[in-house]
Structure 1
Amino acid sequence: MEKNELNINNASLQDGKTLGIISYLTWIGLLIAFIKNRDVKSPFVNFHIRQNLGLFIVGILAGLLRFIPAVGGIALYIVFTLLFIFWIIGLIGAIGGKTTAVPVLGDMFQNWFKGIQ
């Protein structure tokens, strides 16, 4: 009996990791992870959904930088490079089963989107 409970726990952890990874795969993956997690309500998946949602929204807002003459393109390049690095950090955390927030903005994302449960 104990063995079955352990397998269920491992299976639910694996499902959580899978949904956490899926949440980082474009906005469609984010939507899929959000919908599939509504029934399960995994705190691990919720954490990674909040992280990637924050990165996605910051990326959209950063796109507005291109309208700034002269320095907008350079600023946009720098911001998108940082967002890509943060995205990789988040994805590696999801693959490793960790809930480490992305640098600089990760804790803010958790507060801003705490309604996602």
Structure 2
Amino acid sequence: MSDLPTPVPASSGLSDSAAGALAYVTIIPAIIFLVMEPYNRNPFIKFHAWQNIFLCLFMFVLGVIGIIPILGQLVFLLGFLVAFVFWLIAIIKASQGGKYYIPVIGNLAEKQANS
């Protein structure tokens, strides 16, 4: 009898909930999940990837608005705080296997994921 552990079969990749949560880390994993097989065929993962891409675009627009003195900076700070809270909620829901629809962005992501 050998003391070596029995070999574990290779897994088929990330679970849906792990991939959905990882899609929110930066825009890079979101794009990778939209391109790589088998993730690009899974509507759950595609939803979270698209939602993160749209959230990143929203934050980019906030950054541009933040260039404007005083009022733009105020809008940037408030918008960033709101976006950060939505981002945290989306990551938590995705890791639990659920979906959180960020207002406006969630509907756009759902349309893209199902197209």
TM-score by length of 1: 0.74
2:47–2:113 CA contact under 8 A, matched in 1: no
Structure possessing the higher radius of gyration over alpha carbons:
2
1:80 lines up with 2:74 in the alignment: no
Backbone CA RMSD of aligned residues: 2.3
Please state how far the C-alpha of 1:92 moved relative to its aligned partner.
0.9
How far apart in 2 are the matches of 1:84 and 1:20?
17
| Residue matched to 2:59 | 59
Please state how far the C-alpha of 1:116 moved relative to its aligned partner.
7.1
Q: Which runs of 5+ in 2 are unaligned?
A: 1-10
| Residue matched to 1:6 | none
What is the aligned length? 103
Please state how far the C-alpha of 1:64 moved relative to its aligned partner.
1.0
How far apart in 1 are the matches of 2:50 and 2:114?
7
Amino acid at match of 1:39: P
How far apart in 2 are the matches of 1:77 and 1:92?
23
Amino acid at match of 1:76: F
| Residue matched to 1:95 | 95
How far apart in 2 are the matches of 1:27 and 1:104?
19
For residues 60-111 of structure 1, what are the alpha-carbon distances to aligned partners after superposition, in whole Å with 9 as ceiling and x for unaligned?
1111112222211111011111111111111011111012312353223433
Percentage of pairs with the same residue: 27
Matched position secondary structure for 2:56: helix
Please state how far the C-alpha of 1:34 moved relative to its aligned partner.
2.1
